[in-house]
């Protein structure tokens, strides 16, 4: 089954960076590797997510993870809107069996409408 989950993450065209609760980057999908190429790309795997951010952002990430730990109901938080790229950014909890916090990931949700006609096949 893990092959299917990995395939879903890898097929997403937005950056997905998965971290454990110690903030270690454990996985980056291809979009993230390409997006963060100037910062090291795939070489960031195994490094601390906190090292990729300024001190204010590091503090906020730590606070979010602590909030996730307080309740299994605390699972998603809006972090900022990037107007230039027309996207909202969230940090989302990852839980084992929906309960125990095992990590988190950052999700970029673009608000630009897709203008392709439905079911248009681009070969």
Domain locations along the chain: 14-110
Q: Three-state DSSP class for 62?
A: helix
Average pLDDT over residues 6-27: 94
**What does the DSSP 8-state code read for residue 38?**
G
pLDDT for 123 equals 59
31-86: per-residue pLDDT in tens? Answer: 999 999 999 999 999 999 999 999 999 999 999 999 999 999 999 999 999 999 89
**Which CATH number fits the domain 14-110, given the four candidates 3.40.640.10, 3.30.70.2190, 3.30.450.20, 3.10.20.30?**
3.30.450.20
90-107: per-residue pLDDT in tens? Answer: 999 999 998 999 999 998
Tell me the pTM: 0.86
């Amino acid at each position: 089954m893990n092959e299917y989950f990995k395939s879903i993450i890898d097929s997403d065209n937005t950056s997905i960076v998965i971290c454990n609760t110690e903030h270690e980057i454990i996985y980056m999908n291809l979009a993230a590797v390409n997006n963060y190429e100037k910062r090291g790309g795939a070489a960031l795997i195994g490094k601390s997510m906190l090292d990729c951010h300024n001190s204010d952002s590091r503090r906020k990430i730590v606070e979010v993870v602590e909030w996730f730990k307080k309740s299994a109901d605390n699972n998603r938080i809006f972090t900022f809107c990037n107007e230039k790229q027309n996207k909202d950014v969230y940090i989302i909890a990852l839980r084992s069996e929906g309960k125990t916090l095992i990590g988190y990931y950052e999700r970029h949700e673009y608000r630009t409408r897709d203008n392709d006609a439905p079911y248009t096949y681009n070969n």
